[in-house]
A and B are shown apart, each in its own frame.
Chain A
Amino acid sequence: MFNETVLKEIEEIKARYPDRRSALLPSLYIAQREFGWLSREAMESVSKALNVPEARVRGTASFYAMYKHKPVGRHLIQLCTNISCMILGAEKLVDFLGTKYDVQPNGTSRDNRFSLVIMECIGACGTAPAMLVNTDFHDNLSEKRIEEILDKYK
């Protein structure tokens, strides 16, 4: 369950809205920050903190692609392969990540260093291909650029 500090943080978020359920999406972000991913315990904690039925918490969370629905590696790579990225070579980069870093879409490398999620447009089409590593933006990607960038994420 959440500690006092986190509960206070959630109380502050609740105050922004006319009803408590509206704090659900931000609370799920907090839960995955605290628990690493949206585990059963994470969602139970949200349910208790907001007094919203657990089924609703799980039902809502499962709708959204950016929540971590299973444990992820130390670093989360979110690579875009939508059209602007695709026509500039993003699909080959997916293959490269598999060969070089042992990470497949929706999977985690065996050394637990990287997880990979394929994204639907991250709004960096002008500097495609692009990816987020955790919350850092990286664009104009090539195999060489990816090697340089990922070197910093141990």
Chain B
Amino acid sequence: MEKFLLKNIENPDSADINEYLKAGGYKSLSKALGIEPKDVVEEVKNSGLRGRGGAGFPTAMKWKFAMADPKFPKYLICNADEGEPGTFKDRPILEKNPHLLIEGMLISGYALGSEFGYIYLRGEYPDANDILNGAIKQAYEKNYLGDNILGKGVKFHLSVHQGAGAYICGEETALIESIEGKKGQPRNKPPFPVNVGAWSMPTIVNNVETLSNLPYIIEIGGEAYSKIGSNECPGPKLFSISGHVERPGVYELPMGISLKDIIYNHAGGIKNNAKLKAVIPGGISTPVLPPDSIDCAMDFVSMPKAGSMLGSGAVIVMDDSVCMVKVTHRALKFFEHESCGKCVPCREGTDWLRKILERMESGKGTEGDIELLLDIAGNMSGKTFCPLGDGAAGVVTAMIKHFRDEFEEHIKNKKCSLADSY
């Protein structure tokens, strides 16, 4: 497949605006500015583009909600808080192709009637911060940003807002709180950000990859774009593959590709020909899959049918040297650390789950611990303020569903048989 999102990134100067222009960059912006904003939205609607941050919500529909709100100014925020463990798909765009993102934000801003954009960038990406700020400066110099873009009377201002290490800020209302200079705790919904977002104004929060698809949609047209990948979730998708595979990395592949194909074909199969034990298909918040379930289509509609979720498309591959209790414990340590503390089921639940898993892994598990884990997870699921708690509960439930014997062994043998293998 021809690459679009990762086009030209082998060029060491790909982040420079002149190289981007040479490769045909900013042409889609000129094209978009030549048509009415509502026609831009129509193209995006026809493309079938869904948000790439994890939820898979139709992008044009989200836009239309914000556009229907009469309040101005409207704000456009790019979610570059890529914090879901296993995910590093947005990083090549941010570091190697920043102008693609800026062009996407300009197209989106024009369509929405938004004149102010922010890139909420995770604090863990200091290089991307420098690169994005450099790219924004260049875009201002060349009049792609400012008060009269390309002489068309269109205004758009853009800046980077650096986060400071809080996973929860990837949740859009927490992100908005954080941009407003507060603790990143999710807001009650409704009202939704499309009506009452940043500084109480209509706000669109879109993922880096979502926005970076816009220049392509405008270039080839919504209809042609909708024919790429799977029917219900069209387009190219970035997958980040890590763990025990021969060729880990970020791959741009058509949405709907089989998980098995990604692992065995594109990523070169299991490292050192070891035996596959488990795959986390969409970042650690998504339910684990056993080896016999990986022949599934990687898109937002098919993955729930296969027992998991597409999430951020972050595939973590584990061979049989890995202890699933230890992995579950590590995941819960993460969720406990990142729980914002606003709601009780998440704040207490993640702590309890982590403690029980810790004693199991260290050989101190007791009879009934598995049931206790499931009971706590059941009491969190659907009862937390935002998806973080749901994710934590879902991880535990899926791990026990597929690898219950390992949890039982830990309790029975009072130890982890794989404790020292890595």
| Cβ of A104 under 8 Å from chain B | no
Contact of A65 among B84, B165, B250, B327 (CB under 8 A): B165
Residues of B within 8 Å of A, CB-based: how many? 55
B144 neighbours in A (Cβ, 8 Å): none
Q: Which of A2-10, A23-31, A106-114, A145-153 contacts B (4 or more CB under 8 A)?
A: A23-31
Q: 30 A-B contacts, Cβ less than 8 Å apart?
A: A19-B180, A22-B179, A22-B181, A64-B166, A66-B164, A66-B165, A67-B164, A83-B280, A83-B284, A83-B316, A83-B331, A84-B242, A84-B243, A86-B422, A89-B422, A91-B422, A120-B83, A120-B85, A120-B165, A120-B167, A120-B337, A120-B338, A121-B85, A122-B124, A123-B87, A125-B87, A125-B240, A125-B242, A125-B316, A128-B248
Complex alpha-carbon distance, A80 and B304, angstroms: 30
Q: Is A127 an interface residue (CB 8 A)?
A: yes
Q: Say yes or no: is B125 at the interface (Cβ < 8 Å to chain A).
A: yes
Known: A84-B316, A126-B248. A121 touches B164 (CB 8 A): no
Which range holds the interface residue count of chain A?
35 or more
Please, which residues of chain A bring their CB within 8 A of the CB of B331?
83
- Chain B nearest CB: distance from A140 CB in Å? 10
Partner of B240, one of A24, A28, A60, A126: A126
Interface assignment of A88: CB less than 8 Å from any CB of chain B: yes
Residues of B participating in the A interface, judged by any CB pair closer than 8 Å: 82-88, 91, 122-127, 157, 159, 161-167, 178-184, 199, 240-244, 248-250, 280, 284, 314, 316, 318, 321-322, 326-327, 330-331, 334, 337-338, 340, 422
User: Bound complex: CA of A125 vs CA of B162, how far in Å?
Assistant: 21
A76 CB → nearest B CB, Å: 12
A112→B20 CA distance, assembly (Å): 44
Closest Cβ neighbor of B83 among chain A residues: A121
A87 CA / B421 CA spacing, docked (Å): 9
User: Residues of A at under 8 Å CB distance from B?
Assistant: 16-19, 21-26, 28-29, 52, 59-60, 63-67, 78, 81-84, 86-89, 91-92, 119-128, 132, 135, 137
